[in-house]
Chains A and B, each alone.
Chain A
Amino acid sequence: MARKISMKDAINEAIDQEMRRDPTVIVMGEDIVGGTGSPGETDAWGGVLGVTKGLFAKHGDRLMDTPLSESAYIGAAIGAATCGLRPIAELMFVDFMGVCLDQIYNQAAKFRYMFGGKAETPVVIRAMCGAGFRAAAQHSQMLTPIFTHIPGLKVVCPSNAYDCKGLLIQSIRDNDPVIFLEHKNLYGHESEVPEESYAIPFGEANIVRDGKHATIVTYGQTVHRSVDAANALAKEAIECEVIDLRTLSPVDMDTVIESVEKTGRLICVDEANPRCSIASDISATVAQEAFGALKAPIRMVTAPHTPVPFSPALEDIYVPTANAIAEAVRKTVGGTRKAA
């Protein structure tokens, strides 16, 4: 039976249900258990934004507070994964991933390949990503392209509570390392989520809205802005198909290409910086695979090639807005529709 819950609660529920289902699931991270500094106080914080709150009371020492050393505990989680556990490591902000990148891209991502398929690394590394939270340049990056670039990692970035629960359960059950990126601006976003457990397979994009004039491909927070843009454009008789990639690695190019073959126009919206981004990757693949279907040049709407500004006024226009997305669609559609 479905009810409306927030993305934050969906994450907590997914972890709770998988811990109940599978005794090898453990959780590691900074302040995920601990109190406000008082000795003996537990379960007071549940991580920096309280996502894991309440899990210690249910699952006890299968949740572990770690020292403030990402390279140590991410390495420990990866090691534990190769030895039969299914650790979920919470890394607060994706921006800190640099501290432990060797463990991720040179170790976890390589084990299956280098040990001839004999080693599996079923670890999930959860982290908050994205701008719009007034958290400044070192706590606001997307960084999704960095992980998508690395073979051997699976990369997930959900846009809503329903997908978040199903994709996190799939991540935990998956036998490969998964980078699970949660947009902090979406933690309060609510949608209908079944009480039961369910897994959404990787590599299936979600078509959020049907349309025949242009295809908007995006993921994460900008899914909502793209839908807002599409709704505004519908009043101008421009019908956009909005595709939420949900997983960036593997990525569902079939759904994107099928849609572009129908609409003939592609707008890639990405909150990450523009160079070597998800937007540029999708654009290049469509240009290579479906050039003949295109009626207009592909357009990208991304953050600028700068760090995330701390100034609220600047941060608000840093992330692609619904207006910017709508304007890009208008430019793509303009002048080509009559010919079509």
Chain B
Amino acid sequence: MPDPSIKPLVMPKWGLSMKEGTLSAWHVEEGQTIVPGQEIMDVETDKIANVVEAADGGLLRRRVGEIGQVYPVKALLGILAPEDVSDAEIDAFVSAFEVPAAGDDDEDEGPAYQFAETASGRLRYAERPGEGDPIVFIHGFGGDLNNWMFNIDGVAAAGPVYALDLLGHGGSAKAIANPGLDALADAVEQFLQAVGLKGVHLVGHSMGGATASAVALRGRDLVKSLTLIGSTGLGEEINSSYIDGFVAAESRRDLRPVLKYLFANEDLVSRQMVDDLLKFKRLDGVSETLRGLASSMFRNGKQKRLLVQKLQASTLPIQIVWGAEDAVIPAAHAKALPKAKVEIIDAVGHMAMMEAAGRVNELIRAHVAN
């Protein structure tokens, strides 16, 4: 049996399709003591590059991963162990370490796609089992559940995690009879019923924030708390260049500049991200759905459905998170609800849950625990 005080640092799995990643930098030295949440290395996949934060704390005894090398998910990259563990024991741990085979369906492998049949249509979702009240992630306009690739595992300690593709998005049914916030909220409510979820903590991003709010405001004991990230529904302004540009873009050339509005760090817009979004946008019916949603909710650069008063009047615990550099919806909207707990994160854009994943995960875990 290996010494339980030896803890491996492994290649993370970001999103369901990630099989391997390149270790592009170490931020910690051997002999350094690291704390949970500390930035320890940079990893790059074909879709995105991001910093990896420590899940465990301890003394970094060994950097196994070499910079520039490609490693499969769960491959050993480093060793945390107290000083009294001998080098020989660490050597033995390293040589005995086996990378779990890709595609193993054990719980550690992270979520797998599932489908819920609802009256609105088939909805795709991912599930990460756990103990406690369920946490349900709802992405924004034009997004999908993989927008939460850095969060699903990151909040799993706080409860079972679900992330769904909104109606008209991702792998869910594309047609929406009356495109608008109510249709999206209907589908989410039907999803919660179909999967048997009650008393959930909803986490919504952008249009998914307004959708989460609309579901919560229906009462019915479905929702225990709200975390709204760069959410719509809290103020009038919205960047119409982003919305209209996203809807109209038909090529890589059109779409790439539009996606740069999403991040404070524009380098995060990878070719693969652009290609994946084009693949989605080119599916029959998607253009009509996006046009329908945009004209129902965001016509002429103004948000048409504001939920501020109803949210302020509700008894729900609400947390609002915003990237200070948000170029799609101004961060000033974070202060629209006097009752809410507000966190504005510096140097981060609209996709705060990707650009500041560690901080956002921490905030969600804390909000859910209260």
**Chain A residues within 8 Å of B, Cβ to Cβ:** 1, 162, 166, 194, 196-201, 204, 206-207, 210, 254-255
Tell me which of B89-97, B190-198, B245-253, B315-323 binds A. B245-253
Query: Contact: A194 with B253, CB < 8 Å?
Result: no
Query: Contact: B252 with A204, CB < 8 Å?
Result: yes
Query: Contact: A198 with B284, CB < 8 Å?
Result: yes
CB of B171 within 8 Å of the partner chain? yes
Which residues from chain A contact B253 at a C-beta distance below 8 Å? 254
* CB under 8 Å from chain A, chain B span 120-177: 124, 171, 174
CB of B271 within 8 Å of the partner chain? yes
Query: Contact: B279 with A1, CB < 8 Å?
Result: no
CB of B283 within 8 Å of the partner chain? yes
CB of B282 within 8 Å of the partner chain? yes
Given contacts A1-B171, A204-B252, contact A196 B271 (CB under 8 A): no
Query: Contact: A197 with B250, CB < 8 Å?
Result: no
For the complex, what is the distance from the CA of A207 to the CA of B253, rounded to whole Å?
Answer: 12
For the complex, what is the distance from the CA of A204 to the CA of B275, rounded to whole Å?
Answer: 12
Interface core residue of B113, B124, B252 (most chain A CB under 10 Å):
B252
Given contacts A194-B283, A199-B282, contact A1 B271 (CB under 8 A): no
A–B pairs, 19, beta carbons within 8 Å: A1-B113, A1-B171, A162-B279, A166-B282, A194-B279, A194-B283, A196-B284, A196-B285, A197-B283, A197-B284, A198-B282, A199-B282, A199-B284, A204-B252, A206-B275, A207-B252, A207-B271, A210-B271, A254-B253
* CB under 8 Å from chain A, chain B span 257-316: 271, 275, 279, 282-285
Which residues from chain A contact B251 at a C-beta distance below 8 Å? 201, 204
For the complex, what is the distance from the CA of A199 to the CA of B285, rounded to whole Å?
Answer: 11
Which residues from chain B contact A196 at a C-beta distance below 8 Å? 174, 283-285
Which residues from chain A contact B250 at a C-beta distance below 8 Å? 201
For the complex, what is the distance from the CA of A199 to the CA of B250, rounded to whole Å?
Answer: 11
- How distant is A200 from chain B, measured CB to nearest CB, in Å? 6
- How distant is A173 from chain B, measured CB to nearest CB, in Å? 10
Which residues from chain A contact B113 at a C-beta distance below 8 Å? 1
Which residues from chain A contact B284 at a C-beta distance below 8 Å? 196-199
Which residues from chain A contact B279 at a C-beta distance below 8 Å? 162, 194, 198
Which residues from chain A contact B282 at a C-beta distance below 8 Å? 166, 198-200
- How distant is A128 from chain B, measured CB to nearest CB, in Å? 26
Which residues from chain B contact A207 at a C-beta distance below 8 Å? 252, 271
Given contacts A1-B124, A1-B171, A210-B271, contact A198 B283 (CB under 8 A): yes
- Known: A197-B284, A199-B282; 6 extra A-B contacts, CB below 8 A, are A1-B113, A1-B124, A194-B283, A200-B282, A204-B251, A206-B275
